[in-house]
Homo-oligomer: A and B are copies of this chain.
Amino acid sequence: MSASRGKRAEEIFEAAVKVFYERSYADATVQDVADEVGILKGSLYHYIATKEDLLFWLFEVVHEQVEAIKVAAEAATELHPLQRLQLYVHGQVEYNLSNIQQISIYYHDLGLLGPERAAYVRAEARAHNDFAVRTIKEAQAQGEADASLDPQMLANCMFSTIVWTYRWYREPGSSEGRAARAPTADLCTAFALRGLSARST
């Protein structure tokens, strides 16, 4: 199943995200998604066979989109390791802030995928983790990051800053609106990069 399948597929995808986000994946039905698109349930079955197909589609789309952020950061070999991580964190936070519904479903309903699909998602996530750990180790070797700290745990902390935005960020204009996306991504990036940096005292 490919992530992009034309205009109608895109409408279905967007409707599924909205319905799963608002009603929760567990409670929502394929009928709810069909109603949201305004098509018959039978027509929806041209695109997917089960409700889980819609959920997995979301994971595929997210991974396809964040892959580009990782590739760009990895390719920026003219930058220092911490600068590559800075690029990565900023891109990932901006992506999450722009896709709060997808990211919410991603982290809430990961456990509801079947074992094979869950393994696929874990492998995709592992590639991001491996990039982070590898680059943190480079930064440690160059004295930019504290070599006494476990690089895997530092990567976990870095991902915390990226991921948890989906639980606290509110779009400006909503009742809890606090900040626009760009300055929020700037601040999260500053926080995570200071966290990774070697202590100067």
Contacts and interface: CB of A to CB of B under 8 A. Distances in A.
Contact residues of A: prevailing secondary structure: helix
Contact of A179 (B150, B164, B169): B150
Contacts of A107: 167
Contact of A187 (B24, B150, B165): B150
Contacts of A187: 149-150, 153-154, 157
B159 A164 contact: yes
Given A160-B164, A161-B161, A178 B200 contact: no
A179 B153 contact: yes
Contacts of A200: 200-201
A173 to B, nearest CB: 17
6 contacts: A107-B167, A108-B108, A156-B169, A160-B163, A161-B195, A194-B199
